[in-house]
Amino acid sequence: MSVNSQQALFEYALRLGDNALILGHRLSEWTANGPILEEDIALTNIALDLVGQSRMLLSYAGEIEGKGRTEDDLAYYRQSAEFRNALLTETDNGDFAQTIARQLFYSVFADQLLQGLQKSTDATFAGYAAKAIKENAYHLRHAAEWTLRLGDGTDESKRRMQEGVDKLWMFTGDLFATTEADMQLVSAGIVPDVSTFREAWLKRVSDVLTEATLTVPESNWFQSGSRNGIHTEALSYLLGEMQSLARAYPGANW
């Protein structure tokens, strides 16, 4: 593997791992705060799936890099500019409706991505996708069902769900951002070209929103930057909390 394509693969594994880690972390903030006990269980369960996925992916990223960094080195000792997660995943939980909107947007995208990765010529990516696609199918169903309940529930829930959708809409474009390095991986059959997912994503998300009697936002203005390490303000706070203990005792084993 050339140095360039090794770097491209490393970055991609980081992106996948960071998406799972940061979204999983956000969902874990719901623990003991859910609107009903069953949702405490569901959100914690999704968080657990994602943290599990991140461990596998970040370990793999460390292997590709070949400098001996472990999953924990990568999770706990990088600065926010070194994280590659999509902006959407780091957005704050907001209320339950906003969390569900984020889950819907992300899980539809993840379903597309994982379907493509299942066919990857990279055995680790393909293996990861085969496992994660099953987990994600549940995450997607959970998000879609709640979107329906909230959108077509009460006036208040409809207003909140619409607000969540509108507020997060501008962060969805960044999911499909593609770098030149990604295109090398696409040509080698290692990853799918996510820039081609957009139309199908919009169709699937719109179908759910419409069934939920919600309005699909019309804005075509999207935030971007995660592929270059430009994040929102929210990420540094998240990392400040997540990394605090590990960094207070460098070199300790837990």
Partner 1 sequence: MENTVQLEEQFNAKLDKGEFIEPKDWMPEKYRKTLIRQISQHAHSEIIGMQPEGNWITRAPSLRRKAVLLAKVQDEAGHGLYLYSAAETMGISRDELLDQLHTGKAKYSSIFNYQTLTWADMGAVGWLVDGAAIINQVMLQRTSYGPYSRAMVRICKEESFHQRQGYEIMCALAAGTPEQKAMAQDALNRWWWPTLMMFGPKDSESKNSTDSIRWKIKRETNDELRQKFIDRTVAQAEHLGLVIPDPELKWNEERGHYDSGEINWEEFWNVVEGRGPCNHIRLKVRVAAHENGAWVREAANAYAAKKAKREAGSLVA
Contact residues toward partner 1 (CB under 8 A) are 21, 25, 28-29, 31-41, 44-45, 47-48, 51-52, 54-55, 58, 71-72, 75-76, 95-96, 148-150, 152-154, 156-157, 160, 241-242, 244-246, 249, 251-254
- Supply the minimum distance, in Å, between the C-beta of residue 36 and partner 1: 6
- Supply the minimum distance, in Å, between the C-beta of residue 137 and partner 1: 19
Pick between residue 112 and residue 162 the one whose CB is nearest to partner 1.
162
Pick between residue 183 and residue 246 the one whose CB is nearest to partner 1.
246
Pick between residue 189 and residue 240 the one whose CB is nearest to partner 1.
240
- Supply the minimum distance, in Å, between the C-beta of residue 127 and partner 1: 19
- Supply the minimum distance, in Å, between the C-beta of residue 148 and partner 1: 7
- CA 182/CA 108 separation, integer angstroms: 20
DSSP state of 35: S
- Supply the minimum distance, in Å, between the C-beta of residue 122 and partner 1: 22
The packing angle between helices 233-242 and 3-28, to 10°, is 80
Q: Position of tokens 């968080």?
A: 47
CB within 8 A of 136, min separation 6: which ones?
A: 107, 110, 111, 114
Pick between residue 70 and residue 178 the one whose CB is nearest to partner 1.
70
**C-alpha distances out from residue 61 to 43, 55, 75, 207, 219, Å:** 26, 10, 11, 36, 35
**C-alpha distances out from residue 159 to 95, 96, 130, 153, 212, Å:** 12, 12, 37, 10, 12
Pick between residue 68 and residue 251 the one whose CB is nearest to partner 1.
251
